[in-house]
Amino acid sequence: MEPDTAPPRVDPAAIERIASLRRERDAVILAHSYQPPEIQDLADFVGDSLELSRAAAATPHRTVVLCGVRFMAETAYILAPEKTILMPAPDAGCPLAGCMTPEDLVAMQESFPGALPVVYVNSGVELKALAYSCCTSANAAAVVEAVPADEIIFGPDRNLGLFVERRTRKRMRIFPGSCPPHARLTAGDIALARASWPDAEVLVHPETPPECWDAADHVLGTGGMIARVAASGASRFIVGTEEGMCYRLGRLFPGREFRTAGSIHCPNMKKTTPGLVASALESMETAVRFDESLRAAAHASVMRMASIG
């Protein structure tokens, strides 16, 4: 079985346009770990969604090209409204973020009036604005523990909610949403991958179903996966998250081998191309913006998330 480290699709003309436009526009290019190899290669920084937002807020550049999906560009704008946040592929949505509406949250609040809402950062800005706090996959359990209520409404990802439920004594009221690519992974996929690479360590994301956590060696967000590989003596890893992560790990750890368990491919993450990055910088027309009162309401819950490791 071959490792999943597909070579980047080279587009020299677009790369050349980007090189001059990034200076002209005073731009920094940020890419999520699930982006295609050629986008990770041209980015100034690759990271998870919280790291990208923090990088957008910290950068001295006036323009941020956010290569990811819409909720990531929204979160960057929430933290850095004075900057122009461009989305090269403005139609790159996230089915998980879109599956829970503000009306769904209000209905849950009516059913559980004593509960405080925590929403995964993979959610729309309107949901973030209604939440007490956001969380990442890495700090979800710590955020839930820190919320001043014994009952928590959690969404949109059911699997992450169940993962937190195993780690807290708080009463969890979990919305039944999911990330389609991650939710498709099965324990059978992991068993098959292990049969091919019996010496490999298996790392899975908490957005995968609970049966996958039980079949894996570690359940981690993408940042945790990087830390685990750095600490591990293993030379092969089976990775239960989006395939772009294998390319990222391969770049960070040359000499080790990575492959996905099953097939976890997010079509929205693959919409960004070097040509679209160049066009976004040329036209400056795909900036993410929204109403200041909405941004300010969402800012409070994002900052609670950012304050917890």
Pick the piece of the chain touching ligand SF4 (CB under 6 A) from 8-16, 89-97, 196-204, 251-259: 89-97
Terminal C-alpha separation, the chain:
37
Helix (H) or strand (E) holding 152: strand 151-155
Q: Are 108 and 117 in contact (CB under 8 A)?
A: yes
- Report the nearest approach of ligand SF4 to the CB of residue 22 (Å): 25
Residue type, 127: L
Counting contacts by CB under 6 A, is residue 181 touching ligand SF4? yes
Pick the piece of the chain touching ligand SF4 (CB under 6 A) from 129-137, 173-181, 245-253, 288-296: 173-181
Work out which of 35, 75, 268, 273 binds ligand SF4, going by CB under 6 A.
Answer: 268
| Assigned token pair, 292 | 């200041």
Number of Cβ atoms within 10 Å of the Cβ of 285: 9
Pick the piece of the chain touching ligand SF4 (CB under 6 A) from 2-10, 18-26, 227-235, 261-269: 261-269
Number of residues that bind ligand SF4 (CB under 6 A): 14
Helices of type H across 2-133: 12-24, 37-42, 49-58, 70-79, 95-98, 102-111, 125-130
- Report the nearest approach of ligand SF4 to the CB of residue 33 (Å): 10
Work out which of 80, 179, 238, 302 binds ligand SF4, going by CB under 6 A.
Answer: 179
- Report the nearest approach of ligand SF4 to the CB of residue 254 (Å): 25
Q: Give the Cα separation of 212 and 81 in Å (integer).
A: 39
Which residues, listed in sequence order, are joined to residue 28 by a DSSP beta bridge?
A: 64
Q: Give the Cα separation of 170 and 212 in Å (integer).
A: 24
User: What residues contact residue 309 under an 8 Å CB cut-off, 6+ apart?
Assistant: 139, 142
Counting contacts by CB under 6 A, is residue 122 touching ligand SF4? yes
By three-state DSSP, how is residue 84 classified? strand
Interactions with ligand SF4, residue window 90-109 (CB under 6 A): 94-96
Pick the piece of the chain touching ligand SF4 (CB under 6 A) from 2-10, 130-138, 232-240, 266-274: 266-274
Counting contacts by CB under 6 A, is residue 52 touching ligand SF4? no
- Report the nearest approach of ligand SF4 to the CB of residue 92 (Å): 8
Q: Which of 6, 56, 3 is nearest to 30 (CA)?
A: 56
Interface mask (CB under 6 A) for ligand SF4, residues 10-49, using x and -?
------------------------x---------------
Binding residues for ligand SF4, rule: CB under 6 A, are 34, 69, 94-96, 122, 179-182, 242, 266, 268-269
